[in-house]
Structure formats: C-alpha cells, structure tokens
Structure 1
C-alpha cells in the first residue's frame, strides 16, 4: 500500500493530473505531462502573460491542492496496479520535461517578482517626489496667500491716501503750469524790451548821423556856426498828432502840461539870442539855403527826439511790467516750493504707514545668522532681513574702506608737509612786506614829510592827458562813424550803377551773339552762291560783283562793331573805368535799306 501511494504521488507530480489535467474533469491541471491533452501544451507567449499575475501564494496553493488530490486518489490507484506499472515506464521522460518546466516557471516567477519589486520601488519614489512637490506647492500657496493679504492691506492704505495725494499732485501741477506761463510772459517781455532797446539805439544813431550831417553842412570857418547850432538845437512848439477821443480825454491834461513846458523852453531859448539875431529869421549875411536846411534838420531832429521819448516811455513801462512779472514769479516759486514740500511730507507719511505693515518672509535654517550660543533666540524683534548679495557687498565695502583709509592717511601726511611749507612761506612774505612798508614810509616822509594815504591821492588826482585822449577818441569815433555811413551810401550807389552797367553789357553781348550768327549765315549763303555761280556761269556779272562787295563791307562793319563791343566789355570788367558811348559806324544806304534789323 505504501509503495502504491508513493507511485501515485509520483504520477500526479509527473503527469500533471492524468487525463483530467487537460481541463475537462478538473480545473487544476497545468498541463505538465506529455499525454495530458490540450492542457499539456508547451508554454507560449500567452501563457507567459498569464503567469505575470501570479504571486508567491500561487505556489503554496498548488502544493496544498496537490496534497489533497493525492490523499483522495490513493485508494483508486491501489486497484489499478497494472496501469501504474505501465505508466512507470514513461516516468523518466516525463520527469525530465517536468524539471525543465519547473526551471522555466521558477525563472519566470523570479522575473515577475523582480518586476513587481521594481514597480513598487518606482511607485514609492514617485510618491515621494509627488509628496515633495505637494509640500513645495503648499509652501508657495501659503506664501502667495500671505502676499495677497499684504497687498490687500497696502491697497486699502493707498486707497485711503489716494484722494489726498491726487489733490496735492493736481495743486503741484497747476503751480508748475503757472510757473511755465509766467516764464513765457517774462521771456516775451524781455524780448520786447530788447527790441525796444534796439529801436532806441537806432534812433540815437539817426540822431548822431543827423548831427554829423549838420556839422558837415556848416563847413569850416563859418562865422554863423554858433548861431546855426543854436537854431538847430532850438525847441519850438510842434503840433501834436491827432489821437482817438478816449486818448484825448485821458491824456488831455498831460498834453497841456507838455505844451506849457514846450512854450516855457522855447521862451527861455528865444530870450537867449546870439548877437542880437532872432532865431526864427535868417540874419543878414547868412546863406538862406543853409538856414533852411538847418531848419529842416531841426524838424528831423525834433521828430527823432519825439520818437525817442515815446520809445523810452514805452521802454520804461515795459520794464515796470517786467518787474511786476518777476515779483509774481517769485510768489509763484514760493507757492510751488510749498506745494512740493507738502507733497513730499505726505509721501513720507504714506511711506511710513506702508513700512508699518507686517510682511512675512520665509527663511531657511542656513539663512539665519542671528544665533546666541548656537541657538536661535526667542526674541527676533531686532532682527534685520536682507539679501545675501547685500552682505557680500558690505564685506567688499569693508576692504574698500580700508584702502580709502590708507589713501586718506597718505593725503593727510602730504597736507601736513604742505601746511608746514606754507607757514614758512607766509612768514617769509610777512617779513618782506614789513620791510617794503618801512621803505615806503621812509620814502613818503622824505617826499611829503608825513604819511599819506595813497588810495585817496589816486582817487583825487585826475589824469588830464588820459581824459583828453578819451575825449579825442570819442570825437574821432563819431567822425569815423559819420564818414563810414557816407561811404556806405556812396558804395550802395556805385553798386547800383555797376548793376545797371552789367545789365547793359549783357544786352550788348546778346546783340553780339545775334550779329555773329547772322554773319555766319551770310558767309555760308555767299559761299553757296559762289559755288553755284561758278557752275552755272563761266564769267561773273557786274551785279554779282557789287553784291559781293556789299557783303564784304557788311562783314567788315560787323567785325568793327564786335571789336567795339569787346572794348566795352573790357572797360566794364574793370573797377574804375570810364564808359564811352557805343561806337556806331555809318552804313551805306544800300546796306541799311536791305538789312534794317542790324540797325
């Protein structure tokens, strides 16, 4: 019985469940045996995929099932003893196949276990990474939440200060615009004053020129020079130009006062006559034309003086306006400075409020340098948070300060040496100055008998020679300016004459070109006629000879006229040449009648 049980057990292990291993009578067979039907087929790629889901528990379950099958089937195999003996003959081959399959399955099992282990390891690693990312995201989200709270607090604070800041900014902008407008007005007023000064200078130049013309008209050694000068400078009553009704009503009193003053001045001057002559009548022996010219020059002088007075009055009014504008500009500058200070104070207050807001800063342990006895203190209110780059810059700045300190020490030593040298030089110069003062005092005592203040002497004394030279220079400049203006006028007249002469010369050149063209035409026609006449006739007729002579005379006359035009061109090209009238040679009557366009 024991032998049969062992044999049956061997058959079960080797045969893979007999005929029932094919999967028809039992659901347990794996097809290990060679005669087990469809369940005993070799392991394919599909069976390998099915084995990938097995675990270590599968082996234990198969062992338990095989043991149960063995205990249940032993009595049945005891009855069929002959069949078992026949199957024992095939057990060695099946055992080899079974061992091979076992090895293969064990290999697949190890592979599956290794794959499962790798998947678990990879899953754990990815889970750790996801956990780390989750922590980082949580930190970022918390920091964002804190930053959002801070920004919201800043927004509320800025909203509270916004209205006041807008009012102050608008006030400052208005003051700046007022300042710009005032500067523009000041520039315009200054420009008007400059233009008015130029007009005044022009009128003064005209007055000087008029005086020079008057002096030139008197000539030299004129016995009535003083009388005519008094006539020229005499102030007479002049008719005021008509104004508008409003201006007459407003300025009537001023006109009356000015008329009275003019009458007084004219009366005073009329009383001071020279040599008993009346200033309003030409004295006997004086040139009437010269007296009339003097009166005309006096009228021009009075016109210039009136215009000059008006310009000066206008200039004074513009200067007053400019002063008022400057005063307003100072007031605007003061207001602008006050607005800027007010806005700056408000900005400082707003920044102070913003600085009072609490801001969360996330730090790592290695970033904390504030420790006490290698431990973090409980009170961190006095801690300063700043960037690590700033700490590096400060450390670098320490070295720079040390280098600058060495340079300052070196400069200080050099400055001390220079200071000592300057003290020595000062003492030396003080001794020289003292000696020179003593020498000067001795010379003044020897010359004046007492000490005299040289500055007062220099201020009291006047260099007559220098003053005479200055006066002479001023007179010379006035004469030179008068002569220069006369020369400029003469130059302008000469330029106009030269322009007219050039235009006339241009016309003559055009006429010359036309004549030369006509001469060439006549020459060509004459040559053609001669060639035709030589071909048609053997002899020349008298009419042809006369025509030829006439044409030769015409060519000679044209050549003479061309020479004359060339001479005129040469004369005109010179700076000072006397221009002669154009030479016109007489033409024969026949020529003039046949060619009138030449004349």
Structure 2
C-alpha cells in the first residue's frame, strides 16, 4: 500500500510539472480550468443526488396525499350521511312555536281562517324566496318555449332534408337496379352477395368434400358391382364343380359296376360252355373300350376341377351315388 501511495504521489508531481516547451501561464490556466471543472462536476453530482432525494420524497408525499385524500373523502361521505340521518330525525321532532296574532298574515283574502290546523307557516324571507322562485320559473318556462319553437323549426328543416335524402336514395336504388339488370339480367341481392363472398372459402371446401364423397360413392358402387359379379361367378363355379363331381362319382360307380360285370363275365366264360370265343372277345373288348372311355372322361373332369380350384372356387365333393345292384 505504501508503494502504491508513493507511485500516486509521483504521478501527481509529474502531472503538476509543466511540460517542456509549454507556456507556464497557459499551463497554469489549464490547471485552473481543470480544477474548476472538477468542482463543477462535484456540484452537479451533489445537485443530482439532491434532486433524486427530492424526487423520492415527492413520490412519498404524493402517496401520502392520495391516502389522505381518500380518507378525507371517506370522512366527508360519513359526515354527510350522518348529517342526513340527523336532519331526518330532527324533521320527525314536533316543535311548538308561539306566535302572536299580529305576526300572522293570511295570504287569502287577508283574513285568518277559523281553523289553522291545515295551514303552512312561512317566514317573510321564505315567502320572498318563493315569489322570486316563481318569477325564475316563469323566465325558465319562457326560455323553454323559445327552445321548443327553435326545435320545432329545426325538426321541420331536418324532416325536409330527410325527405330529400330519401328521394335521392330511392333514385339511386332504382338506378342501381337498372344497372344490375343491364349487367346481370336480374336484380342482385347485395347482402347475399356479401355473405357468399365472405363464405366463399367454406363453400369451396364444401364443394371439394362433396366431390370427394361422390368419387368415393362411385368407387364404392364399382367395387360393390365387382363383388356381386365375383360372388355370382363363384356361385356358378361352385355349382359347376358340384355337377362335375356328381358326374365323376356317377362315372366312378359305373366303372366299378362295369369292372364287376367284366370280372363276372370272365368267370362265366371259364365256367359256362356255349358261347363262342369271338363273341366273348368282342364283349370283352367292348367293355374294355367303355372302361377306357370313362377313365378318359374322369381324367378330363379331374383336370377341369383342378383348374377351378386354382381360380379360387370352393369345390364340394358330393356323396357317391349308389350303383345299381
């Protein structure tokens, strides 16, 4: 710390020294101006701090003033309420005032009525105020009459102007209808047109949805038609397969029957004596050819059944028909 203080003192001594080649009087003048500027900066800083303190004090006083005003208004309202309540209670109190006959003057005929229970007593000052109030009301009434006359004249003028504007509006509406008929061939409802322009986006969206629904419905009808056609083809193929299987079963039973007859014929040829060899050979060949023909027919039916199975049809195998005994 001592070294730092020494360095600062040396710097201050170096700063206080006049640079070589500089006018000493000018240097002294500059130093004086610098000192004055520093003093002014300190004064400005103090004034700024004072202004800030005053501003904060002013804000605090403003808040207190608002609070006091609020409390004062509340107190005045309470006092007014109390005064009103007190006056109401005082008005309910009956007070007896003693008056002498010379202090009472009747306004009607200048004579006192025999019964004073339904009379109202006024002071002379109150009576003067009431009379002056009557004059004021007469003046106000006359002023209101003048205002009424002016308002009537203004009403007539405005009615005439309104009539002119209505005629002008009707003329413009007729002209607008003529222009619409010339341009569009018919009258156009501007309100509907505005609503349509406002809801154009919604209408376009509804139209797109309607088109999509129609396309989907059309595609659905096409698929339904194809499905019905495929179901009809499947039903026909199933029926054909059933017929062919029944035919196969019938041919199989017939083949078995022919083979049985062939075997029985061969056994009869061995046991029986009488028929010639040529006749037996012819019958045998006839039976063999019939068996081969039925076998080829069965193979063709089996091939057709396999082809139908590959197409996706369901083949129901019927029970074989019993052969003739």
TM-score range, shorter chain: 0.3 to 0.5
TM-score (norm 1): 0.19
Of structures 1 and 2, the one scoring higher in RCO (CA 8 A, sep 6+) is 2
